[in-house]
Amino acid sequence: MTRPRGRPAQGKTVARDDILNVALTLLDEGDGQGLTMRALAARLGVTPMSLYHHVGDQAGLLRALSERVYTEVLEGIDKLVDHRAEIRMLLTRYHQAVGRHPQLTLAIFATPEAFSGVTREITDRLTTLLAEITTEPMLCHILIDHAHGSGLALASARNERQAQAMQEQYQHALDSLLDRFAPPS
């Protein structure tokens, strides 16, 4: 009558990487309500509680996702001699990351415990770089806020062509901001 308990004889262990991948698609394919511990477990063919072993609770899951997504922003950014070029690169990649996973960004905003050190790394790197080319301390916040807003707006692009156009508009705005606050000397 009762189904078998415990770890099944042939049971495959679910990989942490798979959890994160599937979680990310659940988050992106819906309106943000698609990612639940139960739905995630079901999609992975596993009991909800087994997830807790790999990623902790829901905030832990979000933090892991945030790490995975935002780490890509820092990867392959060589310390350029040209500060301005490095700033552009960093922000463009960040903007893209937000645009690719807007629901993740919103979820993190609403879940302070989900903040990962990676985002801190990004903003720290940006502030030190910006300190080299401008004396306006608020420029960093302005740039990051705009990356958020514009990145989130990217979600409402109707097709790839429009998304491309919005990306270019962002680049333009970014250049304009840098020009006006830190004119190339």
For binding to a copy of itself (CB under 8 A), which residues are involved? Answer: 31-32, 106, 109-110, 112, 136, 138, 141-142, 144-146, 148-150, 152-153, 169, 172-173, 176-177, 180-181
Closest distance between a copy of itself and the C-beta of residue 49, in Å?
22
CA–CA distance, 183 with 39 (Å, rounded to integer): 51
53 lies in the site for DNA, by CB under 7 A: yes
Residues 97 and 72: beta-carbon distance below 8 Å: yes
- 3-state DSSP helix/strand/coil percent for the chain, to nearest 5? 70, 0, 30
Closest distance between a copy of itself and the C-beta of residue 151, in Å?
10
Quick one: 44 or 98, whose CB is closer to a copy of itself? 98
14 lies in the site for DNA, by CB under 7 A: yes
Tokens of 171: 């680049």
Binding mask 57-96 for DNA (x = CB under 7 A): xxx-------------------------------------
Phi, psi of 46 (to 5 degrees): -145, 160
**Which member of 24, 27, 54, 68 binds DNA (CB under 7 A)?**
54
At 112, is the secondary structure helix, strand, or coil?
Answer: helix
11 lies in the site for DNA, by CB under 7 A: yes
**Which member of 20, 22, 48, 72 binds DNA (CB under 7 A)?**
48
136 touches which of DNA, a copy of itself, none (CB within 5 to 8 A by kind)? a copy of itself
Quick one: 46 or 126, whose CB is closer to a copy of itself? 126
At 32, is the secondary structure helix, strand, or coil?
Answer: coil
DSSP 46-98: S-HHHHHHHH-SHHHHHHHHHHHHHHHHHTT----S-HHHHHHHHHHHHHHHH
Residue 52 CA: distances (Å) to CA of 24, 33, 48, 102, 115? 17, 19, 8, 24, 18
162 lies in the site for DNA, by CB under 7 A: no
